Structure 1
């Protein structure tokens, strides 16, 4: 079979193509002006490529006809793809890729508009961010809602795009490497936010895995891609994908956020260190003395 066969979209979507192309063009244009390391470039392209593969290739057929494949798709849409894009810290490159005149005339005023600022303040609030991140998983896996989403192609695309957008917002918030301000959250809060998202994912994954009845009969109704896999086994694998890999991605995010916290503290860039008025070497000596006295 021709390998290019798998790159053909199962259901063509101009929205996916346009969004991916815009992000790619802006990044290519902007990285010439912003300093982007090779590792960050690889991270960005891997994340963007992963989103395209699970949204606009022949694999979408399997995502629509097996529950565990659907969970694998959402693992990429909500966790893996947005995680690697945010890990590349591409904001400066994407901004630099926009023509200067457009930034002045359109982008700047749009971001400065009060409705936009209020909306960002709301969705980037730590409690709201965790609630949305976990709540969307629960919402789309609620059996009646999931049935409708898998039967209506319009709702199916809303479901997928909601996972992508929320994943980008969440990981952009958590993996921010800057102190606060200019980051929205302090390094400590970023660690707590991503840790708070772990238990609900484990609980839902375990519930799906251990439930003795079929929760998502839509896959049996519409026909399964893998006839050799029983509905209950399919459901158990899907629960495990949410339970283990999904939670592990959050653990990795927490470790990266903790690393940023330690790095900023060592460089004296935390807000309390800046307010103290001490030089970095004095702050380091003070921390060393406090360690010796405990």
Structure 2
């Protein structure tokens, strides 16, 4: 049993292959034109590879047959993978990877339409972003909904893709290093946004961990991958994964947002100091003008 065995998809999905290949090609093309550091490139490729492994390998069997493995999968899809992709700031590179004619003819007109701009304004509103980020976790962990999602392959894929897309949107907002504008949110609002997402994750993780009964019997009904692990222990480990690593990712995101805020504040102070120096220099009398004033 070698590495290639584990990289084989448990349930092949053309959607995953096309989406990952498209992102990889656009970024690889854009890196040749846009200025992207080695660290940012590594961050992007790590995040994209993490998403592929969590969506399209033999590990998917374990994600479907153990609750704690399912939580590990969603930790990657909703937190880790999107976090590292957003941390690489790939927007400029991926935009540069699109042929110029396509950008002018299709991309720019589509983004300028009223309904697209209105939709993006709603989805990227900080309150909506936090509610979606936390709400999707709660929604898919509601016991009746989770039961159906783990049995219906179509709903299962909708669940996973919703976590990926929402994670990308959320971390894109939080880790944006630019000032506002052009960024959608100011640095202070980014910090508040990610901090607001921490307590609900802790509460839900603690509830699952301390629950005295089995909340997700679908894994016992369908057969567990690890027969040596009791249902309650499986559930407790899953609750811990949501409680601690999930919350810690948000804390790290808040610290990075704070770092961007301090950097942008320092730049603003430097600009203000330069303007003050220029103004002071302009007001100081030159030797010739001072001599002329004394003669009068």
TM range, smaller chain: over 0.9
1:261 aligns with 2:261: yes
Tell me the distance in 1 between the aligned counterparts of 2:91 and 2:98. 11
Tell me the distance in 2 between the aligned counterparts of 1:117 and 1:71. 34
Give how far 1:2 is off: 2.3
Tell me the distance in 1 between the aligned counterparts of 2:259 and 2:148. 42
Number of the residue aligned with 1:286: none
TM-score, normalisation: structure 2: 0.92
SS in 2 for 1:154: helix
Specify every segment of 5 or more residues in structure 1 that has no aligned partner in the other structure, as ranges: 284-294
Number of the residue aligned with 2:21: 21
* 1:65-76 correspondence to structure 2 within 5 Å: 65-76=65-76
Tell me the distance in 1 between the aligned counterparts of 2:275 and 2:240. 48
Give how far 1:110 is off: 1.0
Counterpart pick for 1:279 among 257, 273, 296: 273
Number of the residue aligned with 1:152: 152
Number of the residue aligned with 1:214: 214
TM-score, normalisation: structure 1: 0.92
Number of the residue aligned with 2:172: 172
How many positions carry a matched residue from both structures?
Answer: 277
Number of the residue aligned with 2:136: 136
Tell me the distance in 1 between the aligned counterparts of 2:110 and 2:53. 31
* 1:189-204 correspondence to structure 2 within 5 Å: 189-204=189-204
Q: What's the CA shift string for 1:214-257, capped at 9, x where partnerless?
A: 00000000000000000000000000000000000000000000
Tell me the distance in 2 between the aligned counterparts of 1:2 and 1:179. 47
SS in 1 for 2:268: coil
Tell me the distance in 1 between the aligned counterparts of 2:199 and 2:226. 31
Maintained 8 Å contact 1:268/1:280: no
* 1:1-294 correspondence to structure 2 within 5 Å: 1-268=1-268, 278-280=272-274
Cα separation, partners in 2 of 1:141 and 1:280, compared to 1, 3 Å: farther
SS in 1 for 2:203: helix
Give how far 1:3 is off: 1.9
The root-mean-square deviation of aligned C-alpha atoms, in Å, is 1.3
- Largest Rg, 1 or 2: 2
Tell me the distance in 1 between the aligned counterparts of 2:3 and 2:44. 24
SS in 2 for 1:268: helix
